[in-house]
Amino acid sequence: MGKKYQNPPVVEALCEIFFVNSQWDGALPGIFFERIKDTYPKRKELENIGVEVNFSQDVPDSTFKRGEKRIQFIKEDQSQLIQIEKDLLVVNQLRPYPRFEDWKPAIDRAICDYGDLAKPQGMRQLGIRYINRIVIPQSRFSMEDYFYLYPQIPENLGKVHGKFMMRLEIPSKHPGHLLVVTFGTAPANPSEISLMLDLYNIVNFSQTLDIKDAERYIQEAHENIEVAFENAITQKTRDLFQEEMNT
Between 88 and 49, the higher pLDDT residue: 88
Instruction: State whether 79 and 156 are in the same domain.
Output: no
Instruction: State whether 173 and 54 are in the same domain.
Output: no
Instruction: Give the per-residue pLDDT at 115.
Output: 97
Give the mean model confidence (pLDDT) for residues 177-202: 95
- The mean predicted confidence, pLDDT, of the chain is 91
Give the mean model confidence (pLDDT) for residues 155-172: 88
Of 99, 120, 141, the residue at which a domain comes to its end is 120
When divided into structural domains, the chain yields a total of: 2
Instruction: State whether 93 and 50 are in the same domain.
Output: yes
Which CB contacts under 8 angstroms, 24+ apart, belong to 159-165?
none
Give the mean model confidence (pLDDT) for residues 51-67: 55
Give the mean model confidence (pLDDT) for residues 49-65: 54
Instruction: Tell me how far apart the alpha carbons of residues 104 and 106 are, in angstroms, rounded to a whole number.
Output: 5
Residue 247 pLDDT class (50, 70, 90 cuts): low
Between 155 and 186, the higher pLDDT residue: 186
Whether the pLDDT of residue 53 is over 90: the answer is no
Inter-residue contact 200 to 129 (CB < 8 Å): yes
First and final C-alpha spacing in the chain: 14
Instruction: Tell me how far apart the alpha carbons of residues 210 and 124 are, in angstroms, rounded to a whole number.
Output: 9
Whether the pLDDT of residue 52 is over 60: the answer is no
Instruction: State whether 53 and 81 are in the same domain.
Output: yes
Instruction: State whether 150 and 216 are in the same domain.
Output: yes
Of 51, 86, 120, the residue at which a domain comes to its end is 120
The whole-model pTM stands at 0.90
Instruction: State whether 64 and 177 are in the same domain.
Output: no
Share of the chain above pLDDT 90, in %: 77
Instruction: Give the per-residue pLDDT at 1.
Output: 46
Which among 76, 133, 82, 124 has a CA at the least distance from the CA of 107?
A: 82
Instruction: State whether 130 and 244 are in the same domain.
Output: yes
Total residue length of the chain: 247
Whether the pLDDT of residue 68 is over 80: the answer is no
DSSP assignments along 9-68, one per residue: -EEEEEEEEEEES----TTHHHHHHHHHTTT--EEEEE--EEEEEE-SSSS-EEEEEE-P
Inter-residue contact 178 to 125 (CB < 8 Å): no
